[in-house]
Amino acid sequence: MYHHVKKLMYTVRVDAPDPRFGNMLLEQFGGANGELAAAMQYSIQGLNCDDAARKDLLMDIGTEELSHLEVVGTLARLHLAPMKNSRDAAEADPLIAIAGGGGVNLFNSMGNPWTADYLKITGELDVDLRSNIAAEARAKIVYERLINFCDDAGTKDALQFLMTREITHMKAFAAALESMEKPPFTVGRIAPSAGIVNQYFNDSSGTGEMGEIDTRGPWNEGGEWEYVESPVLASAGNGKSETAASNKIDSSLESSIPADAEGIYESLIEHLRDLLHAEKQLVKALPKMAKAANSVQLQDAFELHLAETVEQAERLTEILKMLGAESARPKPCKGMMGLVEEGDDIITEGKKKDPSLADLDLIAAAHKVEHYEIAGYTTARNLAFQLRLPEVSRLLQMSLAEEHNSDLILDQIARPLMSLIGRPPALV
């Protein structure tokens, strides 16, 4: 049974109503990735679930999503309130103002009505859990975009809470899926056809020497993978069966081969040496940044990234060894030297500032570092792709993903700090 407690799960505050933003909020009220869709999807999956433990999980989170719906609805109503009396505000969305009296209804931000077609329910628990992880990820992105378009501090606080809970739910669903101990590609009960299940078809090709390369990676080589040139192109020349593997593809349609493989190799080594020196500098700089941070969250983020940075330096050393350049010394990274020096200045100046402002300056410095590393790892990974070095590409992609995630964490920490500082004084 359900029981409504007359208290919001998260108290909302709207200082400056914005009808246009209220319309955007309706995407999370009655949209495809909104709270009602999530509540209905998880609750109905729970009703269908024969697994008592995971049914409890689905019903718990489904019920929480109804609480989120109430928070989003309250936020949207407060932002839409001016539509009740103001012609200018009503013009933001006549449907809401005229037909709905300036209140919320089960529509998305484009005025399309909510539909059960939004729900992903198969009755297969592992498949449904994967759908739920994806649903939470999509909702997280929607909240992130709403935060980016919002200027009201109280609204941003509530949206930050809701966005964070999406990650909590993703973690719970992922843990439940993992606990089933079911092989990831064992979907349903009928086994796939042997042979073709492990064939990767190269069905997109560049044209001539200027075409984009056909990349190789763990998704199409190694293990049980069999790489098959496009069956359509293989059969086009003589009208034989599409699976005629012996047909040769016209060389003019083949993807480009590196014209100067040796030059690309040397460039890759230089980028790796530069990155290695950058990471070694950060191993020394991050403890100072963590010590200077006032926010416990920011301290933890710096310490977490310190551990990642140590691993990234070891990863780069391993890659250089794989490439036969284990004796190559780190190349002095002047870019990181400048960023670290700037960070030292920010730490010194931050002692005289408001703690939240000082932390925001630290975050800004850390963002610059992350973006510098993202550029370096992206370039190195692409060079490894060009040289057909899948294992090197994979290791560099791991570090690149960690840098992107660290950058995102910094952004999440910064938002509530901005709310603590408050709105700037009105300009005279």
pLDDT at 38 over 70: yes
For the chain, the domain total comes to 3
Domain ends where: 179, 207, 228? 179
Q: Using an 8 Å Cβ cutoff, are 154 and 2 in contact? A: no
pLDDT at 312 over 90: yes
If asked whether residues 58 and 133 sit together in one domain, one would say: yes
| Residue 269 lies inside a defined structural domain of this protein | yes
pLDDT at 118 over 90: yes
Q: Using an 8 Å Cβ cutoff, are 93 and 84 in contact? A: no
Beta bridge partners of 113: 107
Task: Over range 174-198, report the average pLDDT.
Answer: 86
Beta bridge partners of 200: 227
If asked whether residues 238 and 303 sit together in one domain, one would say: no
Domain ends where: 117, 146, 179? 179
Q: 42 exposed, middle or buried (CB, 10 Å; 0-12, 13-18, 19+)?
A: buried
Higher pLDDT among residues 93 and 322, named by residue: 322
Task: Over range 294-312, report the average pLDDT.
Answer: 93
Chain Cα centroid distance, residue 53? 29
| Residue 11 lies inside a defined structural domain of this protein | no
Q: Grade residue 255 by pLDDT with cuts at 50, 70 and 90.
A: very low
Beta bridge partners of 228: 201
If asked whether residues 269 and 407 sit together in one domain, one would say: yes
Q: What percent of the chain has pLDDT over 70?
A: 90
| pLDDT in the model for residue 175 | 96
Mean pLDDT of all residues belonging to the chain: 86
Instruction: Please give the span between the terminal C-alpha atoms of the chain, in angstroms, as a whole number.
Output: 56
Residue 148: how many CB atoms within 10 A of its CB? Answer: 11
Reported as a single tens digit per residue, the pLDDT across 151-167 is 899 999 999 999 999 99
Q: Grade residue 182 by pLDDT with cuts at 50, 70 and 90.
A: confident
For residues 11 and 157, give the distance between their C-alpha atoms in angstroms, rounded to a whole number.
10
Question: Residues 389-424, buried b or exposed e (16+ Cβ, 10 A)?
Answer: bbebbebbbebbebbeebbebbebbbbbbebeeeee
If asked whether residues 282 and 367 sit together in one domain, one would say: yes
| pLDDT in the model for residue 254 | 38
Within 8 A by CB and 6+ apart from 170, the residues are 133, 136, 137, 140
If asked whether residues 172 and 223 sit together in one domain, one would say: no
| Residue 12 lies inside a defined structural domain of this protein | no
| pLDDT in the model for residue 425 | 52
| pLDDT in the model for residue 317 | 93
Query: What is the residue range of 412's domain?
Result: 261-421
Task: Over range 372-387, report the average pLDDT.
Answer: 92
pLDDT at 241 over 70: no
According to the per-residue pLDDT averaged within each range, which of 82-86, 203-207, 270-274, 411-415 is highest?
270-274
Higher pLDDT among residues 188 and 269, named by residue: 269
Q: Locate tokens 């407060």: which residue?
A: 78
pTM for this one? Answer: 0.61
| Residue 295 lies inside a defined structural domain of this protein | yes
